[in-house]
Chains A and B, each alone.
Chain A
Amino acid sequence: MESAINILKKSELFSNLAENDLAGLREVMETRTVQAGETLTTQGDTATFFFVLHTGTILVALQDGKSAVMKKPGDFIGLELLSSKGIYIATLTALTYCEIAVIPRDAFLTFIQEDSPAAEMFMQSWVRHHTLMYPFITEQNLPDEDYHY
């Protein structure tokens, strides 16, 4: 299986970041495999990981029966980590065997805090991705902007 950092680089969220920006994540990132039918997160649970997809298909179930499908390498979810509420807004279910990279909450928050330009670039990429993938999500469903950093 590909290393977690290489998976990260395939994501548009991290692809523009310099190698040293990612250095802090290298040590704490993990790769995981999940089988079809496994649930990665449940809506309302405390957000503990940020996920980046490497292979496979994941169903992202949101409120009101709405959903999206993650299937491109580099697709990601879990920015609720930054929210003050810190709870997952989606239930993630693997539809196929998946390989994913995960970043624990604390490491992710440290990464965002450590480097302001990288964090800003990261947030811009996230907003762009979010607009494309989840155009139907209203502001009220988004993690609030009272971030932890």
Chain B
Amino acid sequence: MEANVYGLNAINAHNGWAISVVGVTIVFTGLVMLSMAIAQIHKLLDLWEHRNELSLFRKKEPVMTQPQVQLTPGQKESARQFKLLAETLNEHFSLPRLLSLARVSGIDHPHTTLAILLETNIIVDDTQGYHIWDISQFKTLVS
């Protein structure tokens, strides 16, 4: 007898209301999700435009390692002599005083040796006008 049911009665008889509600819900949910996705597209575009700033896409630059300074035997010997002289001074010593001592002590090429000690950070600035002897750097490069 159900075949003769029409109109609203047919909808009621076959759960039409529930089915339509489910259909509408599915469609609107889809539309909401689509609109949310579209709303976020500008972020993706922004990300793409600035892709070079992302570490993920950044080309890895070769690691530049500081070349280890190799002192010649003569330079090492002069450095040892400088160290002996520096030990006679205060911990924070005067560089001109050290140079003067090196000159009167007869160390070979005192100016050049001092430049090397500064360049290799064996002698470092204390920012107060005096300098200090970096013993660990000295051991690494000379000893």
Contacts and interface: CB of A to CB of B under 8 A. Distances in A.
Given A59-B99, A65-B94, A67-B94, A96 B129 contact: no
B111 A67 contact: no
Contacts of B115: 36, 57, 95-96
A99 B97 CA distance: 25
B96 A67 contact: yes
B95 interface: yes
A83 B103 CA distance: 33
B118 A93 contact: no
Contacts, number: 60
B80 interface: no
A59 B129 contact: no
Contacts of A57: 115, 118-119
Interface of B is mostly: helix
Interface string B101-143: 0000000011110110011000001011111000000000000
B136 to A, nearest CB: 21
Given A62-B129, A65-B130, A136-B129, A95 B114 contact: yes
Given A65-B129, A93-B99, 19 more contacts: A36-B109, A36-B111, A36-B115, A57-B115, A61-B95, A65-B97, A65-B130, A66-B130, A67-B94, A67-B95, A68-B125, A71-B118, A91-B96, A93-B96, A94-B111, A95-B118, A96-B111, A96-B112, A136-B128
Interface of B: 94-97, 99, 109-112, 114-115, 118-119, 125, 127-131
Interface of A: 36-37, 57, 59, 61-62, 64-69, 71, 91, 93-96, 134-137
